[in-house]
Amino acid sequence: MSFINKIIVNIVQLMPKGVVHFFSKKYIAGELLDDAIRVTQELNAKGIMTTIDVLGESITSKEEAVESKEECLRVLDAIETNKLNSNLSIKPTQMGLMLDLDFAYQQVKELVVKAAAMNNFVRIDMEDSSTTDRTFELYKRLFATHRNVGVVLQSYLKRTYDDAAELNKMGTNYRFCKGIYVEPEKIAYKDRQEIRDNFLKVLELMLKNGNYVGIATHDTYLIDGSLEIINRLKVPREKYEFQMLLGVREDLRDKINADKHRLRIYIPYGKDWYKYSIRRLKENPNMAGNIVKAFFNIK
């Protein structure tokens, strides 16, 4: 089935943008901030939190990075003005991480300071392994003076347990996911069960140390395993949340919400929706198969 899904991905890339938009619109709020506001309001009405993400990453100039930061400032203003139960997620390369670390620090600091004044929070996303060390350096510099900032760890990287052990000492607020980038076997687990096992091992380490964790997964096995750890350690519900992507496993989303667990949905929007859609399909070909099944109403 994976081979068939990869063929579907290749076919999708040859389709007109309008067709790709038809397939991907379930997973993206839209091109405008107003779209992200509308989707967040709909989810908030169901008792579900969101994190809003301005699409775009790996920019090539400081001018682009400043434009991205300005749009993120508008997101924070919109959250405050509309009284949304939401926070902001950013890609560090979108803020200029790989151009100039000091420049990126100043960019993200401006967002974190504004969010703090609004009693809000900024999540620094994790990208591929070429950015990992810089992302942690950026996060640590920000956390030294501001507590309303968190970072992402990925269970498929072999370094993650050691990273969590170090970051736990700081009281880090995590988003924890499997990881979707294609990485060499030398630094990343490739076997599905190995990734799952490491996920639960690292999660237990985080929760034992009292850290807040956003458990970001659509994998029923991992959700069940996470709940077993939570129940065994008697973790209070205010110390964790589940996180999911917009439009993915809505049946599971609704069950988690009905069971009264804190739940946050990732809301991407922006003019770069096409690149985001194609990248997500390339990184996760199984998603292509799921889209086709949904389109033809195949259970």
Active site residue 232: no
Alpha carbon distances (Å) from 67 to 9, 96, 137: 31, 11, 23
Nearest-angstrom CA–CA distance, 128 and 138? 15
**What are the residues facing 176 on neighbouring strands?**
153, 215
Cβ count within 10 A of residue 253: 21
**Which one of the listed residues 53, 123, 163, 175 is annotated catalytic?**
175
Nearest-angstrom CA–CA distance, 204 and 283? 27
**Which one of the listed residues 53, 125, 163, 272 is annotated catalytic?**
125
Nearest-angstrom CA–CA distance, 28 and 289? 18
Nearest-angstrom CA–CA distance, 243 and 262? 9
Sign of CA dihedral 14, 19, 25, 27: negative
Active site residue 175: yes
| DSSP letter for each residue of 104-127 | HHHHHHHHHHHHHHTT--EEE---
Nearest-angstrom CA–CA distance, 29 and 175? 21
Nearest-angstrom CA–CA distance, 187 and 189? 7
Structure tokens at 162: 């050691």
Rg of the Cα atoms in the chain: 18
| Cα 228–chain centre separation | 23
Asked if residue 76 lies in contact with residue 84, where contact means CB atoms within 8 angstroms, the answer is no
**Active-site positions?**
125, 175
